[in-house]
Every structure is written in structure tokens, then in C-alpha cells.
Structure 1
Amino acid sequence: MGLTVVLADEIRGGGPPRTRDFQFGEWLRTGLLDGELPGPETDPDVTVLIASALADH
């Protein structure tokens, strides 16, 4: 399981959202414990994640 954060302006921007502001998942735990903090990143999966969230709300 993971957490993906997308800014509201990215969703309302008109085009498909392509940037996630933050993401956390177990696969990132080691890096976080080492002080690495993930930041905004282009991610084409954001569109699919938003569609899934809206369908399953």
C-alpha cells in the first residue's frame, strides 16, 4: 500500500495531471530512514490513480 499526494491545482489544470507532489510506500522506507525525502515528480500513473480514486470513492 502507498500514499500519493497530488495538488488540487494539478487536477483542475485542464490537462491530465502528470505531477505528484509526494509519494510514500514501503518500497521507499529505507530511503526515508536514511534522510531522503521524495519531492514532486512527473508520474504518468497519477491520471490512473485519480480515476481509480474517483471510481472507488
Structure 2
Amino acid sequence: MNKITTVCYGKEDTWETKEAAEQFFLQAMMGSDGSERDRYTNIYIKLQMGMDFCTDDEY
């Protein structure tokens, strides 16, 4: 299985599983608001779409 790479606020992280990344970003979304929540949401949606390289940029 491919590792998942995320880039949020310019920081690149690598995840062993998609589920671990999704869990992290879901929790981050729930604990934030405004533009911070938007960044986490962008990554979470991309993870849900099956992408293995996700940034906090909008489409």
C-alpha cells in the first residue's frame, strides 16, 4: 500500500495509512474554525477521494 503524504501550512507529513491521516485531519477539522478549518477540510476531502498526495490548497 502507498504511504500518504500531506502538506499543511507548508509542513510535509507522511502517514503509514490513509485511515491514520483521515483520523488526524477529521479531529483537526472538529477542533478548529475559519481558514484553519478550511485547510484541514481541503486535505480531508482529498483523502476521502483516494488521493495519496494532499495539500491544503483549494482545487
TM-score by length of 1: 0.30
Which of structures 1 and 2 has the bigger CA Rg?
1
TM-score (structure 2 length as normaliser): 0.29
